[in-house]
Structure 1
């Protein structure tokens, strides 16, 4: 079933429609992504959230054309009007790093340990912009300064192991934005970083967005980061989109039971030791098959025969809004706007970061 999503007022720089990704082996087929759709407008930050294994990273890798040959991709991915599904690897090489770039989750394994930082940044510049070795080095120093690395003239000749985790992540960002891409995919860019470094990385991304007008897909499981950095949120579960809304609407009036479960598990500042964090019962379903039903039904307290008898459409919460609806959910029995639920308010991440940094 193809989902219906809001078309932004601005022409999207990235449009994903009914994306499906499956991996086949001799014994089974895993449906990692099933019918995901979204649009990304210029300068917009779209956060993609969900539990581990829900398809966030696979969706991003499909957009980048980095999935292995065993992956079968369906649907449509249009970057600036160019269709990427079915494109040859040579086509991806032309746009990857130039029009669309990715910040990978673990920079220590993404950076080449035997090449200097300057050479790795310069490779992108020489390939896509045709710069000379000297000009590429000069531009690499500027990029290191742009992402907030001190003494860039010295750091450019260092190797990844000589940098801290936060600096390596900044180098990854410098490589990703070297050619001023229109779309930047950040896959868990703050994972395993301490809270002060995390704040610095988010500031860099925000600065790049303001300076370059780059649209960002922020893949994360950290709802505090979402509240601080995103404009819209796409919630995924078991390879499917279950809710999409502006960030303040999602935190204020989440409608899907799964989204409410995620928000209910947010640790509130000052609440440690006062209550047990609620957990979503049950387990994430196997992706060997995607049933024509709500995949969250086995874990949902609101589920009934309707939920197990058919797949819910991705519909506007307010039927009167029609095509202009900003808030959509795939649920047969969504919560109402005034329904009480044990969900956390939008985290004040600034205060939280300040408190933790001072401990």
Structure 2
């Protein structure tokens, strides 16, 4: 059962990067995540998904300016000191990064990397931490965990390495787990196994999961709610059932239409695609950033910015599809 009170609440999050030209990477993102819930954040590459997650964790470089509110339980993380963030990261708020081979230290055993988290945050002794590491490897579905705990990352398959990264992230039973493209570069069988692990964790531990992905098939299989981002902005937010049954924003409809299906494209034809290019983020646009690629755009779209509106199904568009339109 999903609690009504959010574990993680993000409001009006914005991230800019200073340089020769300021980059507005994230602009006005808001969402809630509740215990035992999976929120999928989707969109094309470069739309701000990963930057949003790093901003929540306080892992962006000094050149980044972050504004808005990030509340974990009753604690405000935006503007917190590095010491406060280190106490939270890995214990109450964890992240599964995109590439397991770059996330894991190649010269340390996987057991050492799991026990490091346990000894730091839970103050476990060496032997107790090792036993807990074996339990975690078993929890994420790694066979022969007592043997694997002493192996190095290069001795494991890609799917096993990803499971180890998940084991490190959930070692302290965090309230919120952010998974950034956890199935990238894995074959479909291994993908299914990783997704089953995440589903088991949220069911058994009540972990709230923020799943960052561009794979709408993964979203359909896993998510309770979906936040669609475009050019750093939220454009649609709804339950997964509502979004797939009745997408209202033209961008969301374009993403769904571009998903390959059996029998498509016709012989000699092309897959459906969204025309045009994602805009540069060096200027903060005061209009709909999707307008240049949208066949519904009119003068209002190019002169005024829409904001997410609605009760359960939020959409930021001047000309959305009516509710219930398949």
TM-score range, shorter chain: over 0.9
Secondary structure of the corresponding residue to residue 59 of structure 1? helix
Gapped runs of 5+ residues in structure 2?
none
Q: Which of 23, 36, 42 is residue 17 of structure 2 equivalent to?
A: 23
Note if contact 1:297-1:307 (Cα within 8 Å) is conserved in structure 2. Answer: yes
Following TM superposition, by how much is the alpha carbon of 1:272 offset from its aligned partner in structure 2, in angstroms? 5.2
2:127 counterpart of 1:134:
yes
Q: Distance in 2 between matches of 1:158 and 1:339?
A: 53
Following TM superposition, by how much is the alpha carbon of 1:127 offset from its aligned partner in structure 2, in angstroms? 0.4
2:206 counterpart of 1:220:
no
Secondary structure of the corresponding residue to residue 293 of structure 1? coil
Q: Distance in 2 between matches of 1:49 and 1:307?
A: 23
Note if contact 1:20-1:74 (Cα within 8 Å) is conserved in structure 2. Answer: yes
2:300 counterpart of 1:314:
no
Q: Distance in 2 between matches of 1:272 and 1:211?
A: 41
Q: Distance in 2 between matches of 1:257 and 1:135?
A: 53
Q: Distance in 2 between matches of 1:234 and 1:29?
A: 25
How do 1:97-116 and structure 2 match up within 5 A?
A: 97-116=90-109
Which residue does the alignment assign to 1:321? none
Which residue does the alignment assign to 1:348? none
Per-residue deviation, residues 13-45 of structure 1 (Å, max 9, x unmatched): 0000000000001x1100000000001111110
Following TM superposition, by how much is the alpha carbon of 1:276 offset from its aligned partner in structure 2, in angstroms? 2.6
Task: Indicate how the Cα distance of structure 1 residues 220 and 151 shifts in structure 2: closer, same or farther if over 3 A, else same.
Answer: same
Gapped runs of 5+ residues in structure 1?
1-7, 317-324, 341-359
How do 1:1-359 and structure 2 match up within 5 A?
A: 10-25=4-19, 27-271=20-264, 273-274=266-267, 276-316=270-310, 325-337=311-323, 339=325
TM-score (normalised: structure 2) = 0.97
Note if contact 2:248-2:320 (Cα within 8 Å) is conserved in structure 1. Answer: yes
Per-residue deviation, residues 308-357 of structure 1 (Å, max 9, x unmatched): 111012101xxxxxxxx2101000000124656xxxxxxxxxxxxxxxxx
Secondary structure of the corresponding residue to residue 228 of structure 2? strand
Per-residue deviation, residues 103-154 of structure 1 (Å, max 9, x unmatched): 0000000100110000000000000000001100000000000000011111
Secondary structure of the corresponding residue to residue 6 of structure 2? coil
Q: Distance in 2 between matches of 1:339 and 1:228?
A: 22
Secondary structure of the corresponding residue to residue 211 of structure 1? helix
Following TM superposition, by how much is the alpha carbon of 1:273 offset from its aligned partner in structure 2, in angstroms? 4.2
Q: Distance in 2 between matches of 1:80 and 1:62?
A: 17
RMSD, aligned α-carbons:
1.2
Secondary structure of the corresponding residue to residue 101 of structure 1? strand
Q: Distance in 2 between matches of 1:260 and 1:9?
A: 30
